[in-house]
Amino acid sequence: MKTQDASLNLADCRVVVTGGSGFLGSHVVEELRARGAKAVVAPRSSEVDLTDAGATQRMFAEHAPDLVIHLAAKVGGIGANRKFPGTFFRDNMVMGLNVLESARVCGTRKVVVTGTICAYPKFAPVPFREDDLWNGYPEETNAPYGIAKKALLVMAQSYRQEFGSNFVTLLPVNLYGPRDHFDLENSHVIPAMIRKFVEADAAGRAEVVLWGDGTPTREFLFVRDAAAGIVSAAERYDEPDPVNLGAGFEISMGELAGLISRKVGFRGGVRWDTSRPNGQPRRMLDTSRARERFGFVASTTFEQGLDETIRWYRSHPAAD
């Protein structure tokens, strides 16, 4: 395996996308095909359980990929992170470990690993710069998930150093968009809010109850922009440094609730359930490294992205 494998030509590559049927993965597969990739496979977990080292090795032997985009993960909002911290830590660690080790053994030309904004320290200066990643412990509710992903960054960098593996790590911010998960148990904040407001409106309820006190801020990246950033990095980025993928803005939960409730047409109020956790106080990425290293800038405005997401949910009300 050689490093600095500059500008990979997707048309000539066999590509495996792990988690390629998931929310982000389905958009990444579309983006790869739109940019000329012809041989793209996306095995389901029912076909290849990536927590199983043998099954992972067999997948690499069968497909002999040139490029792997590793998206498979156990993910969810605050509720899911609090309920399954051990599972999130174990499965995300083990899947990444199996994928990267198999890629090393098979001489895979490149692996793009997706980390997460949850890897950042709880009180990292805003906007979060990649160089601040190690300056503190993550917010407690998502630390097991964030640290498992952070350990994979160390694995990618140390494999590059010892074995010359071309493993690159991206750190996407919170995503949203069509095909997101809208079940209230496991969903992230935007789909959860959309669902709550749409259902409250349909039922004529006077209020919607939301977690926390409305003060935390978040940044959101439209899922098709995230897919474009990931595929651009696959084509053009070959360095060990992790790279943030974000949209470069910050919105409070209170403002977000107001915006979604107006877009949905809900006429009632919001009650903040302060017995529920806020999560990290502020979140926004510095997005300059992605622009400088592989020319990525998010192109969808938040209003456009939210409108499309709400439209998608209204036409897929059973989405979970």
Active-site residues, by number, are: 145
Cα of first residue to Cα of last residue in the chain, in angstroms, is 40
Distance CA(48)–CA(43), nearest Å, equals 6
Closer CB to ligand NAP, 23 or 197, in the complex = 23
Closer CB to ligand NAP, 219 or 235, in the complex = 219
List the one residue from 16, 17, 71, 243 that touches ligand NAP (CB under 6 A).
71
Closest C-alpha to 219, from 270, 269, 266, 286: 286
> Is residue 193 a contact residue for ligand NAP (CB under 6 A)?
no
- Alpha-carbon distance values, 257 to 70, 145, 191, 195, 252 (Å): 32, 26, 11, 12, 9
Closer CB to ligand NAP, 69 or 200, in the complex = 69
List the one residue from 10, 13, 50, 270 that touches ligand NAP (CB under 6 A).
50
The piece of 41-49, 151-159, 263-271, 291-299 that touches ligand NAP (CB under 6 A) is 41-49
List the one residue from 21, 158, 252, 288 that touches ligand NAP (CB under 6 A).
21
> Is residue 73 a contact residue for ligand NAP (CB under 6 A)?
yes
Closer CB to ligand NAP, 25 or 178, in the complex = 25
> Is residue 28 a contact residue for ligand NAP (CB under 6 A)?
no
85-106 and 53-63 are packed helices; what angle lies between their axes, rounded to 10 degrees? 40
> Is residue 101 a contact residue for ligand NAP (CB under 6 A)?
no
Closer CB to ligand NAP, 166 or 186, in the complex = 186
Closer CB to ligand NAP, 175 or 310, in the complex = 175
> Is residue 244 a contact residue for ligand NAP (CB under 6 A)?
no
Q: Are 212 and 272 in contact (CB under 8 A)?
A: yes
Q: Are 69 and 226 in contact (CB under 8 A)?
A: no
Distance CA(237)–CA(176), nearest Å, equals 24
Q: What are phi and psi of 116, to 5 degrees?
A: -165, 155
Supply the DSSP symbol for 132: G
Of residues 202-231, which lie at the interface with ligand NAP (CB under 6 A)? none
Closest C-alpha to 117, from 299, 302, 247: 247
> Is residue 169 a contact residue for ligand NAP (CB under 6 A)?
no
> Is residue 194 a contact residue for ligand NAP (CB under 6 A)?
no
The residues, ordered by sequence, that sit 6+ positions from 308 with a Cβ below 8 Å of its Cβ are 177, 178, 222
Instruction: Draw the binding track, 113-152, toward ligand NAP (x: CB under 6 A; -: no contact).
Output: -x-x------------------------------------
Closest C-alpha to 293, from 55, 7, 18, 80: 7
> Is residue 23 a contact residue for ligand NAP (CB under 6 A)?
yes
Kindly list the residues in this chain that would bind ligand NAP in the complex (CB under 6 A): 18-19, 21-25, 44-45, 48-51, 71-75, 95, 114, 116, 172, 174-175, 188
